[in-house]
Every structure is written in C-alpha cells, then in structure tokens.
Amino acid sequence: MNLLDTIPALRKALDAERAAGGTVGLVLTMGALHEGHLSLVRRAAAECDVVAVTVFVNPLQFGPHEDLAAYPRRLEDDAALSEGAGASYVFAPSVEEMFPDGTLTIVHVAEVGDGREGRARPGHFDGVATIVAKLFAVAGPCRAYFGEKDHQQLEVVRRMAADLSFPVQIVACPTAREANGLALSSRNAYLSPAERAAAPVVHRALLAGRALVERGVTDQAAVGAAMAEVLATEPAARLDYAEALAGADGKVRLFVAARIGTTRLIDNLEATAP
Ligand code: PAF
C-alpha cells in the first residue's frame, strides 16, 4: 500500500494505473475509519483494479462551532485498515497541500443541498461539494463509492458530478449498522456508554416511519410526527428533524437527525408504499 500526501503524487499514480489498463475505485473519507468505510473499500476493491482511499479532515465543511479540532485523527490505523480492506493507495494530504492559498472557489449545489442538513448546518454542503469536486479533479476518471447513511450528501455529490461533467461514476452503498440498528459513524466515538445505549432510538424512529408508509399512510407530515414521537420516548435524545419525502419512483425516504447528549446523529431509510 502506498501512502501519498501530495496532489501530484496521487495524480501520477492513478494516471499510471489507468494507462496500464486498470480501473480506479475511490473512497473519500475524513479518516477515523470504521466498518462502514471499510465496506465501501471492499466493494470498490471487488469492482475496480485499484482503490485509493482519501483521508482528509476538510475544514470547509465544519461550521464555526462544530468539532473540527476534536475530530478524531488516526492516520496510521486508517492506512492499515484501508490496506486490509484492499486499498492500494491512501492519500492523506495536509490542509496546506490542499489549500496553500485558502480557496476563493466554492461549489454550491442549489436545492438538493438546501433542506435538512443544509438548513441545520449552513455552508456544510458547500464545503463538501468543494472538496469532493477537488478530489475528483485530482483523482481523474474513476468509480467513487459513497455510503447511503449521508443520503443528502450522496445526492449533492451526484448532482455536482453530473452538472460539472466529472468522469466519475457515483456508486451508492448501503448503510452499515450495529446489530441494534445504530448506523455506523465516526461520531459514534463521542457517545458515552449511556448515550450509546440510547442512540438506537434514531433507527427505531425510522422503522416506525417505515411501518406507517408500508401500511399505506401517505401523509408525510403524519409520518414525520410519528417518527418524532418515537424519538421523544428517549430522554437523552433531542430531535432536530424527522421528515418523510416521496421520490419520483414511488419510494419514500425517511430522515431523522437528533442530538444524543451533545453528539448529533443522522440516519435515513427507504420505505415502499403498498
Ligand atoms: O462523508 C465524509 O466523510 C465527507 O463528507 C467527505 C465525503 C469525505 C468529504 O469531506
């Protein structure tokens, strides 16, 4: 496994792989890798000739009062885990390497990024879209693997890649969960044991929403309210939003965001109406 930390080094390595006829899989991360990330790396390794994992805690996507400084950083472990899951390259640049002069260019994806997380975290998706566009520009033609846990991020990235004609195929991968339903997230590391025991309420709320949709309830506000009600049964949880959104394909996507103690968790599920 090659650990690279400069843009020219990654570009050169992936260009050489493609020139030799190989296909490239890309998994973008902010590090603190868990089984969810590794499932993306394994899938990429199964479908592509080489896999590059990027590890970059992107300052552009953190709000002024968010956890940028405290965000877990453990590159050695991340590199070993990436290699174990089948990655050939780990790209871990410094902030200076990525933004030697800061950035005057911000990528904004309108509408798709406006609601839910976009509303709760102003500027967050501008930061995500900007860094993902930059990493796509550096990596070149590839298949890029994203988890459905951050569903709105996936939609923002899809739209950005299509609008800007990046030669990147976006691959959506299912959310990895603990046996109790808790979606895997680097932020779960912030939860105390008591909060960890409380956190699966987010998934229970989504399951309650899904049961209603599957029973034929079409009133999206009622589904949202039912999910909020389940969240309210857990004293450690504070609801941010619970929303149901019908897609053009007849499927309904359910979203919950909540604070468990001081840790903000998000999750989502798909439901199919009868
Ligand atoms: O999902 C993440 O970890 C980040 O938002 C991403 C896509 C790596 C961009 O920094």
Q: Identify the active-site residue in 34, 37, 151, 203.
A: 37
Examine the pLDDT at 273 and tell me if it is beyond 90: yes
Residue from 27, 28, 71 whose mutation best tests the ligand 1 pocket (most atoms within 8 A of CB):
28
Distance from the alpha carbon of residue 32 to the mean position of ligand 1, in angstroms: 12
Examine the pLDDT at 33 and tell me if it is beyond 90: yes
| Cβ atoms of 136 and 105 closer than 8 Å | no
CB distance 131 to ligand 1 below 6 Å: yes
Examine the pLDDT at 86 and tell me if it is beyond 90: yes
Kindly give the number of the ligand 1 atom that is closest to the alpha carbon of 29: 8
Tens of pLDDT along 171-204?
Answer: 999 999 999 999 999 999 999 999 999 999 999 9
Is 37 catalytic? The answer is yes
In the chain, domain spans:
2-173, 186-266
The pLDDT value recorded for residue 250 is 83
Any idea which fold 186-266 has?
Answer: Pantoate--beta-alanine Ligase; Chain: A,domain 2 (3.30.1300)
* pLDDT mean across residues, the chain: 97
Distance from the alpha carbon of residue 272 to the mean position of ligand 1, in angstroms: 28
Tens of pLDDT along 210-254?
Answer: 999 999 999 999 999 999 999 999 999 999 999 999 988 889 999
Q: Whose CA is nearest to atom 1 of ligand 1?
A: 29
- Confidence at 147, pLDDT banded by 50, 70, 90: very high
Secondary structure in 3-state letters for 169-226: EEEEECCCECCCCCECCHHHHHCCHHHHHHCCHHHHHHHHHHHHHHCCCCCHHHHHHH
Is-above-0.75 flag for pTM? yes
Between 3.40.1650.10, 3.40.50.620, 1.20.1250.20, 3.40.1160.10, what CATH number should domain 2-173 receive? 3.40.50.620
CB distance 29 to ligand 1 below 6 Å: yes
